[in-house]
Amino acid sequence: MLREHLPRLLFTHIATPVALLSIIAGTLIFVVHHNIGIWLIVKLTLVVFLVINHTLLGLLILRAETGNGKHVQRWCLVSATVTCMLIAAVLWTVLAKPVFGSGA
């Protein structure tokens, strides 16, 4: 019984609140320190992709619950890989604050 509801429980009670907290924290840091640069636009773009990926993962959970979960495992693996890559890219962008293009 718990096994069937575990993905939804983790998604709604852990992943979504942590994602919202991360977005709020990132926004507050931007507002307080007024750091504006190309790196910030890149970071925000990556965060948008994370939000889209999170939404698609929620749809995968719904699909698995309805029994129409053909190929759900494969897409969950893809989603996990994309999530890890995006998180790594966001962390690198925030920590390195690279200069993109010719302007700084």
Q: Which amino acid is at 76?
A: C
Can you give the pTM of this predicted structure?
0.81
Structure confidence at residue 67 as a pLDDT band (50, 70, 90): confident
DSSP 98: P
- Tens digit of pLDDT for each residue in 8-63? 999 999 999 999 998 898 888 778 877 777 888 888 899 999 999 999 999 998 88
Domain ranges of the chain: 2-96
Which pLDDT score, from 0 to 100, does residue 28 have? 84
Query: With the C-alpha atoms ordered 31, 32, 34, 37, is the resulting torsion angle positive or negative?
Result: negative
Which pLDDT score, from 0 to 100, does residue 100 have? 72
Alpha-helical regions (H) of the chain: 2-10, 16-33, 38-65, 72-96
